Amino acid sequence: MNDFASRVRAALAAKGMTMRAAARELSYDPAYLSRVLNGKQQPSEQLAAALDDLLGTDGALTAVVVSSRSGGVTGPEADIEHMRATIGCLLDHDNRYGGDAVAQAAVQIWRAGQKRLDSGSVPDNAQSEYLSTVAEVAEISGWLLFDAGQQQESRSAFLESHMLARHAGDKPMSWFALDMLSMHGIEHQRPGESLRIAEEFLTDSRIPPRVALLARIRKARALADTGNRQGALKEFAAARSALADSITTRDPSWTWWVDDRELSGHEGEAFIALGEPSAAVPKLQRALELAIESDSNRRVILYYSVALLASYVSGRSWRQCESTLLSLPPLLENVTSGRSRRRLRATVREISRASNSPQWLLDLAREMPAT
């Protein structure tokens, strides 16, 4: 699908339109369009037709998709195509419903690819691309396991992804796996590991700008976890300054999601870690507002809703807790993110243990489906 991606990029450039703007016009998830334009997922005929209409390409893009599907693909190439297409569907499911239901499906795909690699049956001329694809599947499996709350398995997947990417010579995927390990360390009280990974990125002048920006965010979170307020705020300020720069041609495709929502959410979480819930609230409110703008990403909406509830509970803002709790049941009916549900349960326990929590709030909290 390289021909499809190159044609779309050329048509976007001719229109003076960005990928995000096209996704917004077509009501498509920017993550999906990004994966298609970077060869990580096969485009649907519906997407091609919509782009033809938007970009005025007179059916040329639809023709490329139809033509590509008329010839059979076998062997390692078929494996690669299947892995990329299936993972794209699993990620779309994760965005809408959380990783719990699909994490093991991703692991199954990863393990099947790994088994073929280990058997030595992948031809030399396909080794590099096959390794790189399995590395990506391992990384995505790690993310889905992370969201599902299966943390040891998640960490193992990220480590495997890093190793496979290095064997493939795929630096961008290797960086992605390391960034995920840094994220994992922050979530599970290993700030030292996260700091080491961040410093590895930030001391390498060859690292692309957006990868360095993410490293600053991870470093800021880790510093906040160790109580270093000044250091954390300094790194966040540097990250926010860098956020204004557009993504360069050196940046890997996976860095598309580093935006104001992501940064605001991390700033809010850092303030919670620093014991400053009143400073966390506006940051998390901002992240939640931006998440709600894209209704297809309900997992993120649930995550920031629960994070905002945690900041209200830390600050004993009981009335604000009520409004946030009331917003959760519709999300909990559809989104099965083990990570967010575990945090919600912990937050409800904190409400129960607080000496001054009102009875009406206790009753409301106990009615939450996840508790």
Mind listing the pLDDT tens digit for each residue in 263-296? Answer: 999 999 999 999 999 999 999 999 999 999 876 6
Are residues 87 and 184 part of one domain? yes
CATH of residue 357: 1.25.40
For the four alpha carbons of 363, 364, 368 and 371, in that order, the dihedral sign comes to: negative
Are residues 179 and 138 part of one domain? yes
Report yes or no: 146 and 137 within 8 Å, Cβ to Cβ: no
**Domain's final residue, options 27, 48, 71:** 71
Are residues 55 and 90 part of one domain? no
Are residues 176 and 151 part of one domain? yes
Are residues 5 and 67 part of one domain? yes
Give every CB contact of residue 102 below 8 A, 6+ residues apart in sequence: 90, 93, 94, 144
Are residues 218 and 263 part of one domain? no
Are residues 203 and 177 part of one domain? no
Q: What amino acid is encoded at 134 in this protein?
A: V
**Confidence at residue 293, expressed as pLDDT on a 0 to 100 scale:** 84
Are residues 270 and 234 part of one domain? no
**Confidence at residue 30, expressed as pLDDT on a 0 to 100 scale:** 78
Report yes or no: 361 and 367 within 8 Å, Cβ to Cβ: no
Which residue from 86, 93, 127, 126 is spatially nearest to 110, judged by alpha carbons? 86
The tokens describing 227, both together, are 């109580």
**Confidence at residue 312, expressed as pLDDT on a 0 to 100 scale:** 97
* Angle (nearest 5°) at CA 367 between 365 and 368: 75
**Confidence at residue 69, expressed as pLDDT on a 0 to 100 scale:** 59
Tokens 């809010």 map to which residue? 268
Are residues 150 and 128 part of one domain? yes
Domain count, the chain: 4
Are residues 344 and 333 part of one domain? yes
Mind listing the pLDDT tens digit for each residue in 136-151? Answer: 999 999 999 999 999 9
**Domain's final residue, options 173, 188, 203:** 188
CATH of residue 55: 1.10.260
Are residues 166 and 206 part of one domain? no
The tokens describing 207, both together, are 């690292």
Q: pTM of the full predicted structure? A: 0.82
Residue stretches of the chain with pLDDT short of 70: 1-2, 66-74, 246-247, 295-296, 370-371
**Domain's final residue, options 25, 54, 71:** 71
CB atoms within 10 A of CB 77: 12
- Domain of 101 in residue numbering reads as 78-188
Are residues 110 and 155 part of one domain? yes
CB atoms within 10 A of CB 330: 11
Mind listing the pLDDT tens digit for each residue in 302-321? Answer: 999 999 999 999 999 999 99
- C-alpha dihedral over 8, 37, 201, 235, to 10 degrees? 70
